[in-house]
């Protein structure tokens, strides 16, 4: 038994369907392929589910070492980037299905056609929410303990820049 995911018509502001297929504990920020066929749905249980929206079933589980949290889909739908969070003590008490957990310092890259992890991108600290450029060439993301963001080249799968900010005396 787990969470649910709801399909919403955002034009009419209506619930179309609610899927009760065991989306794990506390479904988080998922992403859908551009054609609407597959949903990559993270769970606090430490994995992502690949949900086939036509068959209405989970077809794959992808494990990362952190807590499933943020998902970024490439605009062309070829890759999806899984950004697990490290979490705190409260997160670690949640069910994990016996999967190992660590403090992740990487983004997992998934081939969105084969639904398999193909690479990891070291980012130096726990990944936080991210977004991708319209051409899919850059992933912009925050990491734990950084007042700013990283820029990742999605072709080389490397961090190519770090933007940092400082607070003024009034902001501190």
Q: What are the pLDDT digits (tens) for 84-143?
A: 887 666 555 555 555 555 668 889 999 999 999 999 999 988 888 899 999 999 999 999
Predicted TM-score (pTM) of this structure: 0.85
Which residues, including other chains, have CB under 8 Å from residue 58's CB and lie 6 or more apart?
A: 21, 22, 49, 50, 51, 52
Q: Which residues pair with 122 in a beta bridge?
A: 106
% of residues, the chain, pLDDT over 90 = 49
The pLDDT mean for the chain works out to 85
pLDDT at residue 74 in the model? 98
Residues 34-61: what's their mean pLDDT?
88
pLDDT at residue 119 in the model? 93
pLDDT at residue 157 in the model? 97
**In this structure, are strands 5-9 and 14-19 parallel, antiparallel, or unpaired?**
antiparallel
Cβ atoms within 10 Å, residue 52: 14
Q: CA torsion sign, 64 to 61 to 117 to 127?
A: negative
Structure confidence at residue 67 as a pLDDT band (50, 70, 90)? confident
Residue 92, helix vs strand vs coil: helix
């Amino acid at each position: 038994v787990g969470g649910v995911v709801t399909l919403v018509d955002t034009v009419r502001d209506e619930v179309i369907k609610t899927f009760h297929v065991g989306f794990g504990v506390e479904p988080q920020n998922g992403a859908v392929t551009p054609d609407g066929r597959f949903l990559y749905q993270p769970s606090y249980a430490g994995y992502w589910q690949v949900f086939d929206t036509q068959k209405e079933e989970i077809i794959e589980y992808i494990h990362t070492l952190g807590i499933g949290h943020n998902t970024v889909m490439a605009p062309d739908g070829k890759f999806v980037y899984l950004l697990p969070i490290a979490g705190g003590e409260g997160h670690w008490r949640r069910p994990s299905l016996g999967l190992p957990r660590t403090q992740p310092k990487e983004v997992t890259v998934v081939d969105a056609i084969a639904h398999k992890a193909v690479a990891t991108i070291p980012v130096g600290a726990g990944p936080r929410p991210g977004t991708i450029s319209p051409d899919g060439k850059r992933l912009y993301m925050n990491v734990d303990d950084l007042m700013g963001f990283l820029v990742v080249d999605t072709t080389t799968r490397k961090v190519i820049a770090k933007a940092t900010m400082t607070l003024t005396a009034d902001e501190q």
